[in-house]
Amino acid sequence: MDSSSKKTDDGIRITQGHGGETHQHVPHRGDHQDGESHLTTNHGLRLSDNQNSLRAGSRGPTLLEDFILREKIFHFDHERIPERIVHARGSGAHGYFECTTAIPELTKAAPFSEVGKRTPLFCRMSTVAGSKGSKDTPRDVRGFALKFYTEAGNWDLVGNNIPVFFIQDAIKFPDLIHAVKPEADRGFPQAASAHDTFWDFISLMPESLHMVMWVMSDRALPRSLRMMDGFGIHTFRFINADGEMSFVKFHWKPVLGVQSTLWDEAVKISGADPDFHRRDLWEAITAGDYPEWEFGVQVFDQAFAEAQPYDVLDATKLIPEEEVPVQIIGRIVLDRWPDNFFAETEQVAFLPSNIIPGIDFSNDPLLQGRLFSYLDTQKSRLGTTNFHQIPVNAPQCPMHNFQRDGMMQTHIPTGRANYEPNSLAEAGEEAGPRECPETGFTSFRNTGENNDANQSLRIRAESFADHYSQARLFYRSQTEAEQNHIVAAITFELSKVDLEHVRRRVVSHLLVIDEGLGARVAAGLGIEPPEPATPAKAPVDMPTSDALSILKRDKKTLKGRKVGILFAEGSDKAEIERLKKAIEGEGATAMLIAPQVEGVGVEGGTLKADGQLAGTPSVLLDAVALVLTEAAAKMLCDDGAATDFVKDAYGHLKAIGHNAGAQPLLDKVGVKADEGVTGLGDEFLKAAAQRFFDREPKVHQMP
């Protein structure tokens, strides 16, 4: 039955494939639905002329303002994307998998759940070594990748037409491909293994010899892509609904049988038609002669695996079908050529890490490396982590998560929930999706093993369950001043939280860390302390540690600090210079500050300041000294920059040295005498090396 298409009233074309599945083709918004369409820019502006650039007169230069020309050339210049490092030369088609034998006793995988069930898929077949522009018929392995669009998510079975591989460990894959690709110093031969570097590598890697036998056989010279076997290569796991595991290898066998060409024939075909395989596949599908494969599995248990003279996790080995027959459970049919080669065949991204419930990985080291590599390469090829939004890669089942943004983002999530867990539902907001332990994917857990080091578990060890003891240790190791700051910081942060249940939940945790901490924060917020949280593991009291406190280990030194000296008209120049010398003698920087920068008249001459008062607030300094006459101090009482300079230094618990003349300014801002408010002698140098936290309750309301 040929595929057919029809157009709905709203202009959406519906194509029905041989498998019965439907595909929607939505017209551009600028298209007319009566058959007439207008040529537009990428942004929907209709074009009146697509034949001529905008010029300054009929024979004048082309104008830079021709945005239509620039957009068209810009897009053309960037049409190509990096080709695949391997499998660059490929052809693809849409189709379906139909289950002919249900196997729920072996796996809960959706495609195998009931006889007659059809699962849409996309298939891509390719050469390995050649570039995207190379010929179809070299002696080479053929990639044979299948993307199943299941109701449980996409399952990618990334296989070849040969059941084994060159290497056992993924760490050797870059070396293998470098060796078989064109030689680095000369850039040839293309799509060929008959050269020094490939055979040098093979001669040093005897694990490759089995694969070499296959590649040197007629298997590497297929007559048609429709006439190739397909193999999943690796050993995977089947998991049934009861959590029972079987090992499985996947096979798909062409209904037309495996057919090959002779070497001389393949060479001559490449000259006559380098697109021989691609053309053959296209012609068969468009003629309704749909390619078909029987899909089968080799299933075996741990006992069988352990009894073999080879390791079933070794990708250079196969399991003879005489030992474990291939059980045919379905068929693969390719019934629709892509609408656009680039959008689908070129942009399709296969990931061995795409599996569904009922299928799991084995410990095959080559497979384990592929799980990383395939995902990693998509960013380089497709330019964005959002490659899964490209239609050919998008799942055909609901997809919900909290992954956001990124280049070329096309989804438009709503609401502010972009993390999990969250409790926004308690405030009547959309909370987003949640994990589902009952139906979600779980990795196989070998319940027969007593040692969990041999198991793959999404679990926390019980020894990780104590979340409070060290938080308590940290809080109780702080000085009183530091504890005050912690309380104030949490209270401030939570005061900005609008969700009342969140504030209460945080306080419930604080009460477990330290009852006083939780009570003080609750009081600062004006709420009754809630019931303490219930720890997964009861916290223990650990000896306090001075190393966790800043102030208990504080080095009281002026070295590396900056001290500001405020002066004005009439200040004593000699006193300023003496103080500056003393500060610098301690390894600190002395910064002269005045209402004006230059020409300040002082007793004994003029003095230039390093900074102007209005532009050099005390927050930039570690301590301040005031060298002022009484008249100057009274005048500065009306200067907001001066009062802020002193007030902030006092409020930030810094040392303030002063002479007698500065007292009016101190009185103006309410500076009270304490150990940090000193004269300008040695007592100031000692005070300037620290802060005075005993002052804090006087200047700040503490929760």
Please provide residue 265's backbone torsions phi and psi, each rounded to the nearest 5 degrees. Answer: -65, -45
Known catalytic residue: 87?
yes
Distance CA 56, CA 66 (A): 11
| pLDDT: which is higher, 678 or 384 | 678
The identity of residue 175, as a single letter, is: D
Distance CA 457, CA 663 (A): 70
So what's the pLDDT on residue 703? Answer: 72
pLDDT at 394 over 90: yes
Distance CA 117, CA 480 (A): 70
Nearest to 579 by CA among 616, 599, 607, 554: 607
| pLDDT: which is higher, 460 or 171 | 171
* Percent of the chain residues topping a pLDDT of 70: 93
So what's the pLDDT on residue 230? Answer: 98
Cα of first residue to Cα of last residue in the chain, in angstroms, is 79
pLDDT at 444 over 90: no
Tell me the β-bridge partners of 336: 94
**pLDDT tier at 456, thresholds 50, 70, 90:** low
pLDDT at 273 over 70: yes
Nearest to 250 by CA among 310, 197, 298: 298
- Looking at the domain that runs over 556-699, which CATH code has it been given? 3.40.50.880
pTM of the entire structure? 0.80
Distance CA 150, CA 109 (A): 9
> Which range, of 258-267, 411-420, 651-660, averages the lowest pLDDT?
411-420
So what's the pLDDT on residue 434? Answer: 86
Per-residue pLDDT tens digits for 93-110: 999 999 999 999 999 999
The DSSP code sequence of 199-247 is HHHHHH-GGGHHHHHHHTSGGGSBS-GGG--EE--S-EEEE-TT--EEE
So what's the pLDDT on residue 442? Answer: 80
Distance CA 65, CA 52 (A): 14
So what's the pLDDT on residue 28? Answer: 42
Per-residue pLDDT tens digits for 202-236: 999 999 999 999 999 999 999 999 999 999 999 99
Nearest to 235 by CA among 150, 123, 351, 359: 359
* Tally of CB atoms within 10 A around 56: 9
Catalytic residue among 87, 94, 251, 658: 87
Mean pLDDT in residue range 509-530: 97
pLDDT at 12 over 80: no
> Which range, of 99-108, 171-180, 348-357, 370-379, averages the lowest pLDDT?
370-379
The identity of residue 21, as a single letter, is: E
> Which range, of 358-372, 409-423, 526-540, averages the lowest pLDDT?
409-423
So what's the pLDDT on residue 436? Answer: 84
Distance CA 423, CA 174 (A): 46
So what's the pLDDT on residue 74? Answer: 86
**CATH architecture of the domain formed by 90-169+220-389:** Beta Barrel (2.40)
pLDDT at 45 over 80: yes
Helix, strand, or coil (residue 343): helix
- Please give the structure tokens belonging to residue 205: 């890697």
So what's the pLDDT on residue 342? Answer: 95
Mean pLDDT in residue range 413-441: 87
Residue 212 and residue 140 in contact, taking contact as beta carbons nearer than 8 Å? no
Please provide residue 123's backbone torsions phi and psi, each rounded to the nearest 5 degrees. Answer: -120, 140
pLDDT at 591 over 80: yes
So what's the pLDDT on residue 453? Answer: 58
So what's the pLDDT on residue 35? Answer: 53
Domain with CATH 1.20.1370.20 in the chain: 467-551
Q: Give the helix ranges, DSSP H, for 155-195.
A: 173-180
Please provide residue 10's backbone torsions phi and psi, each rounded to the nearest 5 degrees. Answer: -90, 15
Per-residue pLDDT tens digits for 646-661: 999 999 999 999 999 9
pLDDT at 446 over 80: no
Distance CA 348, CA 20 (A): 22
pLDDT at 73 over 50: yes
So what's the pLDDT on residue 454? Answer: 64
**pLDDT tier at 457, thresholds 50, 70, 90:** confident
- Biggest CA-to-CA distance, the chain: 109
| pLDDT: which is higher, 36 or 439 | 439
Catalytic residue among 18, 94, 154, 160: 160
Nearest to 576 by CA among 613, 604, 615: 604
- Looking at the domain that runs over 467-551, which CATH code has it been given? 1.20.1370.20
Domain with CATH 3.40.50.880 in the chain: 556-699
Residue 637 and residue 630 in contact, taking contact as beta carbons nearer than 8 Å? no
Mean pLDDT in residue range 281-285: 98
| pLDDT: which is higher, 200 or 36 | 200
Kind and range of the H or E run holding 655: strand 655-658
Tell me the β-bridge partners of 295: 252, 330
Please, what is the average pLDDT of the chain? 91
pLDDT at 31 over 90: no
| pLDDT: which is higher, 682 or 24 | 682
Domain with CATH 2.40.180.10 in the chain: 90-169+220-389
17 CB contacts (<8 Å, ≥6 apart)? 3, 23, 94, 95, 96, 335, 336
The identity of residue 27, as a single letter, is: P
Q: Is 376 exposed, middle or buried (0-12, 13-18, 19+ CB in 10 A)?
A: exposed
**pLDDT tier at 451, thresholds 50, 70, 90:** low
